[in-house]
Amino acid sequence: MDRLLNIVGVVTFATSLFTRSLDPVIPQIAANLRVETATAALLSTAFALPYAVLQPVLGPIADVLGKARVMTVCLVLLTAASVASAFATSFPLLLGLRMTSGILSGGIFPAAMALAADLAPVRQRQVALSRILFAAMSGNLLGASAAGIVGDLIGWRGVFLATGAVGAAAFVAAMVGFRGTVAARAPGASFRSVPGHYRAILVNPRAKVCFGAVFLEGIFIFGVFPYVALLLLAGGEARASIAGIVIAAFSMGGVAYTAAVGRLLDRFGQRRIMIGGGTMAALALASVALETWWPLTVVAFALLGFGFYLLHGSIQVFMTELAPAARGASTALHSSSFFLGQAIGPVLFGLGFGWLGPHPTLVLAGVAVALIGVVSAHLLNRI
């Protein structure tokens, strides 16, 4: 099990580089391709929206054809899309390639979570899932921080070439690591069973809570990420590398979560860590609105990441038990809801910043996150 989880982690790490790597260089893309910064920020939505919309299709495909097989095919195509993005000559072309990348990423991370859940018994599942989350967070961390440095040194096109190179290396590792293993074999399910699987998932009363909670997380937590560089710029900090460090701090908080989650579960139980995670994330969001010295913003984003994963990781455990025979479909709906929220989030934050200003918008987002923690903890542990 450990060997396969490590391979899944490598693929997840490479895929996660693509998710947040553009955020620190959004102003550069806007200037180079001659579009408004708010328009360039929609590259985040262009990635997240197709990722979300096509999950109900990709999840059953992974269940039927094999999760490892789908992950591997999507990874090589994602790598090609990243390299092509480096040579985009117009914003519409880059937008289309970013949408393609979102679709392909949607075939990897949910399948990785489902495969990890298949490999681990339920008592060890949150720890196993935390390992995959650790790989994802490490990718987000490196993707954000390294993208800022690469952007400062050679420009935003170099960011796409660097992520493509890592994706190619991960593809080789997957081809070697999955070969001849149980994970590489299709489970023998058929597409005829897909409607029944979705019915089994959706009749579970916990499904609405799981999917609704992560949808709102995507809006109120991840909607702010494309605007980090702009928030720092308003405070006088123009370096893309600093924006990358701030965004990477979110993943650093997630790394701390993976190290502490086992002990926290034993001491406080799932319900309490869900409430505590939502509260911590809410306070961190509110503190970002203060526009303090950027190292304090780094601390705020680290706390935001720690709190988010305390809440999100707990919801994921409930999600994997909605329909054990259709975990690919369950994780697909889960990711679809989550990334649909991430697609909507930048639009709503943009409207909020324009109408209310950054401070009230971030405070309101914090209040929403705190409520998500309390309500989901109560409902999921009661049903």
Q: Is the predicted pLDDT of residue 131 greater than 90, yes or no?
A: no
Q: What is the pLDDT of residue 2?
A: 67
Could you tell me the fold of the domain covering 2-382? Growth Hormone; Chain: A; (1.20.1250)
Q: Is the predicted pLDDT of residue 184 greater than 70, yes or no?
A: no
Q: What percent of the chain has pLDDT over 90?
A: 32
Question: Looking at residues 315-319, what average pLDDT do you find?
Answer: 88
Say if residues 232 and 355 touch (Cβ distance below 8 Å).
Answer: no
Q: What is the pLDDT of residue 181?
A: 61
Q: Is the predicted pLDDT of residue 188 greater than 70, yes or no?
A: no
State the pLDDT confidence band at 98, using cuts at 50, 70 and 90.
Answer: very high
State the pLDDT confidence band at 191, using cuts at 50, 70 and 90.
Answer: low
State the pLDDT confidence band at 333, using cuts at 50, 70 and 90.
Answer: confident
Q: What is the pLDDT of residue 323?
A: 79
Lowest mean pLDDT among 185-194, 261-270, 362-371: 185-194
Q: Is the predicted pLDDT of residue 123 greater than 80, yes or no?
A: no
Q: Which tens digits make up the pLDDT trace of 38-56?
A: 788 888 878 878 877 787 7
